[in-house]
Amino acid sequence: MERTLVLLKPDAVQRDLVGEILARLERKGLKIAGLKMMRLSDELLNEHYSHLVGRPFFPEVKSFMQLTPVVALCLEGIDSVNTVRAICGITKAREAAPGTIRGEFAMSVQANLIHCSDSLETAQVEVPRFFKPEELFTYSDALEGYLYNSS
């Protein structure tokens, strides 16, 4: 089982898409290990988007991410990092594949509704960045046998 970090960004909150996006991820079979709303501080965003510091659009990304609280999710499942990445779609939402969350609901590079960890290594850093150990839950799901069957 892998855990991955998802953030439902302020455009998802403002456009009332939190339930829709959460339902898609949940229906896929991903287990919710952690779920909360939070406001993102400057410090947290500088760390989370450290690969973008220095890019001309970075100040806009930061203020966008602070427009409203975000919904932080930790999702669990076999190969969950790649699975969630595929469900989200590519950064440039207008070009994201139909059927993906960005492909179905977003038109912008910046306002692309959702963040998800891009690799297992990143997820292992991002989950503890957003969740304290006591905010993450381990429990069995009655349908797991059906979900994964033999592979």
Active site residues: 115
Residue 24, marked binder: no
* List of residues contacting ligand IDP (CB under 6 A): 49, 52, 57, 61, 91, 109-110, 112, 115, 118
* Complex with ligand IDP: residue 53 or 143, whichever CB lies closer: 53
Q: Minimal distance in Å, beta carbon 49 to ligand IDP?
A: 6
Do 92 and 83 contact (CB within 8 A), yes or no? no
Do 91 and 34 contact (CB within 8 A), yes or no? no
Its sign, for the CA torsion 92, 117, 35, 38, is negative
Q: Minimal distance in Å, beta carbon 51 to ligand IDP?
A: 6
Do 33 and 136 contact (CB within 8 A), yes or no? yes
Residue 39, marked binder: no
Residue 91, marked binder: yes
Q: Minimal distance in Å, beta carbon 88 to ligand IDP?
A: 7
* Complex with ligand IDP: residue 80 or 112, whichever CB lies closer: 112
Binding-site residues for ATP sit at: 9, 57, 85, 91, 102, 112
